[in-house]
Structures are given as structure tokens and as C-alpha cells.
Chain A
């Protein structure tokens, strides 16, 4: 199982703070993003930062996700 998490404006647009997706070998965060963006296009329009297991990832990062991974899709930060 992969846990996709959302916060702030992204969570509001998705209408949920978490979506669980079945694990499949070779799944990358980009493939997960594409899968979820097809269902929640308005939310993913503002996603600009992604973290896997608490670490920010680059667009070029094609490493497969582990079973149990936590993937967070975030908009630009506005704290402080």
C-alpha cells in the first residue's frame, strides 16, 4: 500500500488528506502523480513540491517506491 498525503490548499482541492493506492512493483512517484492527477486535476495544478518518505524529490528522480511509502504532494509553502 502507498499512502498519498495532502495538506493545505491541495488537501482542500482533493477533498481528503490521504488516499491509499495499491502497491505495484516499479511504481514511481511520477506515475503515482499522473494516476492521481487524472482524478484530481484541479488539485494537482498547484502541486509544485513532492516528498517521498519525508524527503523532497526531483522531477528526475525515477526510483521505484517501496511498499508502504508515504508520498506527499504539496503546493508552494506559505508559512511564517
Chain B
């Protein structure tokens, strides 16, 4: 089974990640998922691809810390975080956050918390690649 927290160039399978979570325990009563995708537009411009750069050692450590914090804070059964690096084509997957708990409320709350914290704490940078040129993305609050 693949690691629960990963940075990778290649795409990932939503089904495989959910199956991995379900396999951890039969106590799982709900799984909440956030799947970030590459839009083909931004602020009125066409976006062909999105490029990702990362300080990989620190980013992976931060994501592993986030998973552990989420499991403890929301009493999760397990959680998985996968973020792609390199060039992602418009329409493809970028990031997956999935949280499994006995009940829906902690799973949903953890999922929201995880993606918000990931954006704030993981040293990853996004560049929109457009026909008119490339531009690094300024983070949104």
C-alpha cells in the first residue's frame, strides 16, 4: 500500500486512496474528501497547465505533521494527503485530502482544517502557465 502522505509527479487514484482508508478499520463510519483540481481559467485568463515547485523535505514533514495533528485533534481513524508536483494539465487532479472517522462531523471538519492548514504551512508554490505567459500565484486568504 502506498504511503498515506505523499508528494508525487504522477496522478493519483481517488478510488485507491479511499480504498486504502476503508481498509484501515471497519469502525470507519464516514470519509470526507477534498479533491483540488486544475482549473482551465483564472481571473479571466485561459490556463493550460499549472506548475508546482516545493521545498520537498520540509513540505513532506509538514504534511506528515498535519496528518498526525488532524488524527489527534478530530479523533480520526486515519487520514491521507497526496499533493502533486511538477506540471499538472488543466482538468487534472492536484491535491487530495481525505479524513476517515466514526461519524461525519469530525471527518468533514478535519477535511476542511487539513486543506486550509496545508495551504498555510506546506512550502509549495503554484505557477499558472497560460498562452500569454507564466505567472506565480499569489496566495488567497
How many residues belonging to A are interface residues under a CB distance threshold of 8 Å?
A: 17
A80 pairs with B122, CB closer than 8 A? yes
Known: A9-B136, A12-B136. A78 touches B55 (CB 8 A): no
Is B137 within 8 A of A78, CB to CB? yes
Q: Please, which residues of chain A bring their CB within 8 A of the CB of B68?
A: none
Distance from A72 Cβ to chain B, minimum over Cβ atoms (Å): 6
Q: Which of B55, B95, B137 contacts A7 (CB 8 A)?
A: B55
A77:B136 contact, CB within 8 angstroms: no
Q: Does A25 contact B (CB under 8 A)?
A: no
Whether A7 contacts B36 by the Cβ 8 Å rule is: no
Chain A residues in 8 Å Cβ range of B58: 51, 54, 72
Contact: A79 with B61, CB < 8 Å? no
Chain B 53-83 interface mask (CB, 8 Å, partner A; 1/0) = 1110111010000000000000000000001
A: residues with CB less than 8 A from B are 5, 7-9, 11-12, 49, 51, 54, 72, 74-80
Chain B interface residues (CB < 8 Å from chain A): 36, 52-55, 57-59, 61, 83, 94-95, 115, 118-127, 136-139
